[in-house]
Structure 1
Amino acid sequence: MRKLVENNYLMLGLTLGALLLGLAFFQNAPLQKGFWAFGALVGLLLAIYLIVDAIKAKAFGSDILALISISATALTDEWLAAVVIAVMLATGRALENWAAGRARMQLQALLERAPRVGHLIDDKNRITDLPLGQISVGSKLLVRSGEVVPLDGTLLSAGTFDESALTGEPIPKSYEAGSVVNSGIVNAGQTLEIETTQTEETSTYSALIELVKAAQADSAPGVRIANKWAIRFVPFALALAGGTWLVTGELDRAVAVIVAATPCPLILAIPVAIISGMSRAASHGAIIKGGAALEQLARVKTLLLDKTGTLTQGGPEVSEIVTADGISTDRVLAFAAALEQSSPHIVAKAIVAQARDRDLMLESANDVIEDHGHGLIGTVGGTRVRVGQLTEKPAWSNISHSLLVGVWLNDELAAVIGLDDPLREDAVQTVSEMREIGVDKVLMVTGDRSETANEVGEAIGADAVYSECRPEQKLAIVKEQMQLDQGTVVVVGDGINDAPALAAAHVGVAMGARGATAASEAADVVIVEDSIRQLAIAVDTAQGARNRALQAASVGMGLSILAMVGASFGLINATGSALLQEGIDAAAILWALVPSARRIR
């Protein structure tokens, strides 16, 4: 029975079908009454189910008035009114279910990126793809270039990894053979092999997922708009109906008041306004997973931002090139990029990209040898070229960046290339716009080094910077901010290390375009375009939708009160009240559909 009631589309189909069939058999009173009674029963079951769920969640909803209205109209033989109320209740719930399903469908492509299988190498060097749950400790796995390490393991050869999603450090890190690497990081070098040291249940990635689940369980849900109105409106409606009965002694009038009080604007108009806002946000690259998330997002006061991949690009780019005397910058860059074309390393890609941005012609490199984690050596146009990480700066270079790469021509150091993880072009503007639309506090929380974090924090105008934070430390900071009770706390991140904080916050926002699957799963909002500015647009859209919802509720409930007063004076009966509510509902819905003016464009 519970599964049937949980199917909102089925409930809507049954109640609407009962209403229409009853109207079709208007010449057969018993059959008509039977159809409408069936529809009312379906609505009654749905209302009871929703009320029980609300009680479990320690919430008070508008569904209790729908339950009373359906019961009262049934007891007074007003079956048309009863089935109309049932249709309205089922419609509102179906709308919210549709919106949530739409968000899940749009996210499916993002969530398929998680490693679910490992490339197992057997004793005969055959490669078989197996589910992670079937791979035991001590197994040998192949990890191709660009793939996520699926299980914790020991490297059987040297490798280079992008750990930004796990630690927040944007510059790739090199490990020698025998080093232990964690699941969730990306192989940024050549194809390599690992020997597993953990199973799927005990790996680093799984431990973080468990932390996410715990954070989600501890996260307190916000009070929905409709429920806030219901807390005030339901006692008023019951008091007016009871007073009408006591004064007039006519039960029919009291029932008519209850029917007129059926919170149609709360059941339908508010969901319509919220869903309309969700749709507009999606068109701008922000998927909001539900109405509750949108309502909370609209009330943001404290914003916690990750650095790597959120405020910055999430990978190294060439920032500066300093050359020895008499050497052209373009010439040395062309040599370096020609050699780096042979490497899948993320730093090599950054150097090649810089050369292409300058429209440099790149020759082919010969006799290329890659020393994993250290650099490449090869011949370009008869010149012996070496490109690798610089351990000691020459006297002629005062360059200072996150990563320094040297370029040697015929064994002479010819240039030093400085690379950094650059700030997104729209990061400063986004923070400024967020303050304009109501954010009081902006904090940056990152796993990256203090020096780099403070530079970025100063650039965006953050109120405070927390650096070198592990996932559990990020989670503690989020909980601390939520305990201050200063409005909605929104956390924005893109890495696996951000997932627990995203799950615990009032609203978690994941940068899904390049972010980790765990972050997208834990978040309430996913930015599917690679731009932090979509966050400001999403908040602006959410605030507009929430305002429309409040306005629609005000208009609808105001008209409902007038109808209740008319019913108490005997001007309309229960069926008339139900039909009048349909008109009121239509007016409220039309107003809810009017898009609010956007402040962020």
Structure 2
Amino acid sequence: MKVKSADHMLFYASGFTLFLGIATNLTSHHQWAQTIWALGGIAGLVPALKWIIDEIRSKQMGSDILAVLSLLGTLLTSEMFASSVISLMLATGRVLERWAEGQAERQLKSLLQRLPRKAHFVNPDGSLIEIDAENIKIGDELLVRSGEVVPADGHLITTAILDESALTGEPLPRTRLIDEEVLSGVLNAGTQFRFTASNTSQESTYAGIIRLVQSAQARSAPGVRIANKMALRFVPVALLVAGGAWLITGEVSRAVAVLVAATPCPLILAVPIAVVAGMSQAAKHGAVIKGGAILELLARAEIVLLDKTGTLTHGGPAISEIQTALGISEDTILHFAASLDQYSPHIVAKAIVSTSRNRGIDLDSASDIYEEHGHGISGVIGAKKITVGQISGERPSWFTMKQPLLVAVTIDGVLSGVIGLTDPLRAESREMVSALRAAGVKDVLLVTGDRMETAREVADAVGITNIHASVTASGKMDLVRSEMAKTKGVVVVVGDGINDAPALAAAHVGVAMGARGATAASEAADVVIVEDSIDRLTHAISIAKKAHKKALQAAGIGMFLSLIAMFGGGFGFLSASGGAIAQEFIDVIAILWALTTLIESPTANSGV
């Protein structure tokens, strides 16, 4: 039986026996009520014993030991009502925690789904047959159609335009020439191309990244939970008071009353509620946290590693500048370029068309369209011959741009305008970096597969001085582990590409930009930013810190009141059943305080 199902069954069984016993007792069938409550207590004792054994095996000490002792004590001293109440409180805490961790399992489902299942094999006569990707052999000639993912590593037979951002972090499409290497997992952003496989799909770059993620997840250690840490202090005190009451009075019922009053319900209930409330608040502000343990870790964030493409930047080409020849307007250049590019599947063409439409520029139809793969597209618009593509020949004096991607527009054979494209910085990125430092993050690193010149430009714009450029997927993972070894705090990694997935899985906390990022990153991550805004990261950390603080406060309040009840039981003012009822009131107070996590803070509402 699955753990989650077992916890739910315990919750229903303990709740049913408690209230059935109360109903039976009200009908004066007291003996039957005692039997029903005893069954409820036993139902809680059996799994609680297993939890204790599991804790001993994992060399951990939690709050379950007190619950087991109080259940044993109440059953042995015939305080059946108290045992049934304790059983229900235990079950409620387990159900709450399982609910909070419902999204915590990291599956490789999306990684595996993205891996191509089929490939187009080119026969010697040029005909195509579809084969299973796992049957690709070294030396096979394969064809990749527009929009498809490359199934294996290889070398190009024809030129190709590739979107390599998922692997390298480079946001702009790259033109690869004949004999250049092509890597599995990249997207064909142009027309179809052919290549020769240099390895099988099982040994490809993309398959290697999957193995890195699996390895990183296997080696990623869970954090120490709040409740367990506080239990280490509370359990010895409770046992000391119970033992003292027994030795001084000679009455075992006094010790049982102390243990019942000491049952760590504020830890079992209030702490998970504060954590769940924090997760709810984070989700409301665009960050899905996959489990309570993750929220607790996020609250102790000290080092944050940020990817560039898609995290600090928007992750795709956008027009940043247009230069034109004398007497020609920017709108004229955009009109001709977009009117022709609307017939092209190229990612840059789509950016030009989108910008033109956003500016309200009407597009004309074109005729005699010819697209030369990897170079450009030409056609006739009106009576003019238009070409949009790579720059060739001498550069005129008016052309001074230095953007990483340049598109030339010629009218009747004369260079008339140049469109410059970049991967624009998110407006909120600089403020987000400052907010991270204000929230207690000691160091922020920029880690990217892009070139150092581009990385430094972005880092300078957002105020980051620690830069790591041209870093591979395995290199990112090694850097994460190095930072984890150097700090006592929590290391957080933020990314959105397939190449980020191993680092996200290896870190204490991995954060994925899920709004536009690769599903591989989202599956490997502990936190997913579902809104396309990186400042949600600051919200998530701030909310995690608040929830962590409220959980500690709720547990502290509950344990202080429990301590008073424990002395009441030790001095004979409270019986075991009275202690159980007192504990219910203490729970209500601790839970109400934990729920204050849901109160919006001014910073959250302001968007800071």
Q: The TM-score by the shorter chain falls in which range?
A: over 0.9
Measured at CA, do residues 144 and 574 of structure 1 come closer, stay the same or move farther in structure 2, by a change above 3 Å?
farther
Deviates more, 1:563-572 or 1:22-31: 22-31
Counterpart of 2:504 (choices 502, 505, 515) is 502
Q: Note if contact 2:115-2:206 (Cα within 8 Å) is conserved in structure 1.
A: no
Measured at CA, do residues 120 and 582 of structure 1 come closer, stay the same or move farther in structure 2, by a change above 3 Å?
farther
**Structure 2 counterpart SS, 1:201:** helix
> What is the deviation of 1:116?
5.8
Q: Note if contact 1:378-1:385 (Cα within 8 Å) is conserved in structure 2.
A: yes
Aligned residue number for residue 573 of structure 1: 575
Aligned residue number for residue 189 of structure 2: 188
Cα distance in 2 for residues equivalent to 1:40 and 1:266: 19
Matched letter for residue 524 of structure 2: A
Cα distance in 2 for residues equivalent to 1:270 and 1:183: 45
> What is the deviation of 1:115?
3.9
Counterpart of 1:474 (choices 473, 476, 491) is 476
Counterpart of 1:526 (choices 503, 525, 528) is 528
Measured at CA, do residues 155 and 304 of structure 1 come closer, stay the same or move farther in structure 2, by a change above 3 Å?
same
Question: Any idea what the Cα deviations from partners look like across 1:174-214, whole Å, max 9, x if unmatched?
Answer: 22455542222222123456665544532222211211222
Deviates more, 1:236-245 or 1:196-205: 196-205
What TM-score, normalized to structure 1?
0.93
Residue 344 (1) aligns with residue 345 (2): yes
Describe how 1:299-448 pairs up with structure 2 within 5 A.
Answer: 299-390=300-391, 394-396=395-397, 397-448=399-450
Measured at CA, do residues 243 and 513 of structure 1 come closer, stay the same or move farther in structure 2, by a change above 3 Å?
same
> What is the deviation of 1:305?
0.3
Unaligned runs of 5+ in 2: none
Describe how 1:230-241 pairs up with structure 2 within 5 A.
Answer: 230-241=231-242
> What is the deviation of 1:58?
3.5
Cα distance in 1 for residues equivalent to 2:242 and 2:134: 60
Cα distance in 2 for residues equivalent to 1:507 and 1:4: 24
Aligned residue number for residue 548 of structure 2: 546
Question: Any idea what the Cα deviations from partners look like across 1:419-452, whole Å, max 9, x if unmatched?
Answer: 1111011111211222222222111111100001
Aligned residue number for residue 588 of structure 2: 586
Question: Any idea what the Cα deviations from partners look like across 1:315-342, whole Å, max 9, x if unmatched?
Answer: 1111111122332222122111111111
> What is the deviation of 1:234?
0.6
Cα distance in 1 for residues equivalent to 2:75 and 2:228: 25
Deviates more, 1:350-359 or 1:338-347: 350-359
Measured at CA, do residues 580 and 475 of structure 1 come closer, stay the same or move farther in structure 2, by a change above 3 Å?
same
Cα distance in 1 for residues equivalent to 2:419 and 2:405: 8
Aligned residue number for residue 11 of structure 2: 12
Measured at CA, do residues 140 and 93 of structure 1 come closer, stay the same or move farther in structure 2, by a change above 3 Å?
farther
Deviates more, 1:240-249 or 1:134-143: 134-143
> What is the deviation of 1:64?
1.7
Measured at CA, do residues 346 and 138 of structure 1 come closer, stay the same or move farther in structure 2, by a change above 3 Å?
same
Measured at CA, do residues 349 and 127 of structure 1 come closer, stay the same or move farther in structure 2, by a change above 3 Å?
same
Measured at CA, do residues 43 and 547 of structure 1 come closer, stay the same or move farther in structure 2, by a change above 3 Å?
same
Cα distance in 2 for residues equivalent to 1:213 and 1:109: 12
Cα distance in 1 for residues equivalent to 2:128 and 2:355: 40
**Structure 1 counterpart SS, 2:114:** coil
**Structure 1 counterpart SS, 2:467:** strand
> What is the deviation of 1:158?
3.2
Q: Note if contact 1:120-1:139 (Cα within 8 Å) is conserved in structure 2.
A: no
Q: CA RMSD in A?
A: 2.6
Question: Any idea what the Cα deviations from partners look like across 1:363-394, whole Å, max 9, x if unmatched?
Answer: 11211111122111211112111111236661
Cα distance in 1 for residues equivalent to 2:210 and 2:480: 17
Matched letter for residue 42 of structure 1: A
Aligned residue number for residue 455 of structure 1: 457
Q: Note if contact 1:260-1:564 (Cα within 8 Å) is conserved in structure 2.
A: yes
Unaligned runs of 5+ in 1: none
Cα distance in 2 for residues equivalent to 1:141 and 1:573: 79
> What is the deviation of 1:28?
3.7
Q: Note if contact 1:509-1:527 (Cα within 8 Å) is conserved in structure 2.
A: yes
Measured at CA, do residues 481 and 116 of structure 1 come closer, stay the same or move farther in structure 2, by a change above 3 Å?
same
Cα distance in 2 for residues equivalent to 1:355 and 1:435: 39
Matched letter for residue 354 of structure 1: T
> What is the deviation of 1:550?
1.4
**Structure 2 counterpart SS, 1:309:** helix
Cα distance in 1 for residues equivalent to 2:177 and 2:382: 32
**Structure 2 counterpart SS, 1:418:** strand
> What is the deviation of 1:297?
0.9
> What is the deviation of 1:462?
0.9
> What is the deviation of 1:94?
0.8
Aligned residue number for residue 25 of structure 1: 24
Measured at CA, do residues 343 and 449 of structure 1 come closer, stay the same or move farther in structure 2, by a change above 3 Å?
same
> What is the deviation of 1:48?
2.7
Q: Percent identity?
A: 52
Measured at CA, do residues 368 and 469 of structure 1 come closer, stay the same or move farther in structure 2, by a change above 3 Å?
same
**Structure 1 counterpart SS, 2:312:** coil
**Structure 1 counterpart SS, 2:445:** strand
Aligned residue number for residue 538 of structure 2: 536
